[in-house]
């Protein structure tokens, strides 16, 4: 295998592993964000379930006495994950800074149903899916480009 091919395989492997780490991190923070914000706004108790074989995916259980607290908690996922993603802008090296876009993209994508719960506007689900995907593509492009040059 020549040097350029090795460089490409290395960049692809790096991006694959980074994406797995980002998805797992954002999913975990997403569910924890629901619970933390829910407790902060007055929900009595809650739990973040990351893996449950009886459900289709990760979810948060919140016990709120009113619908307003539940609606606010539904957006807690976005607040926590965007705060996490924004910390990558503080890093010095460009490849790591570009991870901000991927993290924000997955954050918006995973929050697509939460946005509907919060606003009641179903069309926003599709908008957030498209917007999240655009952020992911931008982040993947620039991060992959930066890692292929290293």
Q: Return the minimum-mean-pLDDT range out of 50-59, 107-116, 126-135.
A: 50-59
Is it the case that residue 148 has pLDDT exceeding 70?
no
Of 145, 97, 81, 106, residue with least CA distance to 20: 106
Is it the case that residue 7 has pLDDT exceeding 80?
no
- Cα dihedral angle (42, 43, 44, 48), rounded to 10 degrees? -140
Q: The pTM is what? A: 0.86
Q: Return the minimum-mean-pLDDT range out of 3-12, 14-23, 44-53, 121-130.
A: 3-12
Comparison of pLDDT for 31 and 13, the residue scoring more: 31
pLDDT tens for 70-92 read: 788 888 888 899 999 999 998 88
Number of domains in the chain: 1
Helix (H/G/I), strand (E/B), else coil: 66: coil
For residue 1, with 0-12 CB atoms within 10 Å meaning exposed, 13-18 middle and 19 or more buried, which class applies? exposed
Dist CA 121 CA 100 (whole Å):
27
For residue 59, with 0-12 CB atoms within 10 Å meaning exposed, 13-18 middle and 19 or more buried, which class applies? middle
Q: Which two tokens stand for residue 44?
A: 């009595």
- Expressed as residue numbers, the domain containing 18 is 3-149
β-partners of residue 62 are 46
């Amino acid at each position: 295998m020549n040097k350029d091919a090795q460089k490409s395989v290395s960049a692809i492997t790096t991006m694959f592993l980074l994406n797995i780490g980002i998805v797992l991190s954002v999913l975990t923070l997403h569910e924890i964000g629901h619970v933390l914000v829910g407790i902060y706004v007055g929900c009595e108790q809650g739990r973040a379930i990351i893996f449950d074989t009886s459900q289709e995916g990760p979810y948060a259980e919140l016990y709120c006495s009113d619908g307003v607290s539940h609606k606010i908690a539904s957006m807690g996922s976005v607040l926590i994950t965007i705060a996490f993603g924004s910390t990558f802008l503080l890093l010095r090296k460009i490849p790591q800074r570009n991870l901000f876009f991927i993290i924000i993209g997955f954050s918006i994508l995973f929050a697509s149903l939460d946005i509907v719960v919060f606003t009641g506007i179903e069309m926003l689900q599709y908008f957030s899916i498209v917007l999240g995907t655009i952020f992911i593509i931008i982040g993947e492009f620039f991060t992959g480009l930066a890692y292929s040059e290293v």
